[in-house]
């Protein structure tokens, strides 16, 4: 992940902490074609006292013009990690935008061994090309 423009956000829901770091990727962007690409790295940590499995995700992506795209699907990066207390899972992914900045937020559907479910909050985080907001 590139150092320029790196941003971080955190949230904790029912003992599941989500830490997001995002950065602009000049290498993957084609700004002359109105394509800005952002890389984000997420760490999901079980700080509680009960196991939880990530079973699905829901993303809300908003660009600078207010266009909203929602993405839903099973797991993350093809995985549905089961996190025992004290364990964490880290992955990286990317997001293209048609504007130089925008935001992402969402939830991870989590399931406990007893079958109970809850949504772990993925805090809203900024996707911004360095100096786009200055």
2 lies in some domain: no
133 lies in some domain: no
The confidence band for 6, taking pLDDT boundaries of 50, 70 and 90, is low
d(CA 49, CA 74): 24
Distances (CA, A) of 26 to 31, 98, 110: 9, 14, 34
d(CA 100, CA 24): 9
The confidence band for 3, taking pLDDT boundaries of 50, 70 and 90, is very low
Sheet holding 88-97, edge to edge: 7-13, 16-24, 36-46, 88-97
Residue that is written with structure tokens 């992955």 in the block: 91
Domain boundaries, position 110: 7-128
* pLDDT tens, position by position, 73-85: 999 999 999 999 9
* Percentages of the chain per state (helix, strand, coil), in multiples of 5: 0, 65, 35
46 lies in some domain: yes
99 lies in some domain: yes
Alpha-carbon 30 to chain mean position: 22
1 lies in some domain: no
36 lies in some domain: yes
Average pLDDT of 91-118?
97
Domain count, the chain: 1
- Residue 45's CATH number: 2.60.40.1470
8 Å CB contact between 35 and 25: no
134 lies in some domain: no
pTM, whole model, 2 decimals? 0.90
């Amino acid at each position: 992940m590139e150092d320029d423009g790196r941003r971080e956000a955190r949230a904790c829901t029912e003992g599941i902490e989500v830490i997001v770091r995002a950065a602009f990727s000049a290498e993957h962007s084609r700004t002359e074609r109105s394509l800005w690409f952002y890389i984000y790295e997420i760490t999901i940590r079980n700080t509680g006292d009960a196991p939880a499995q990530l079973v699905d995700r829901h993303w809300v992506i908003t660009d600078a013009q207010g266009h909203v795209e929602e993405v839903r699907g099973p797991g993350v990066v093809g995985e549905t990690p089961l996190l025992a207390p004290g364990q964490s899972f880290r992955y990286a992914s990317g997001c293209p935008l048609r504007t130089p900045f925008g935001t992402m937020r969402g939830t991870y559907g989590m399931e406990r061994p007893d079958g109970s479910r809850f949504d772990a909050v993925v805090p809203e985080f900024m996707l911004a090309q360095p100096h786009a907001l200055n």
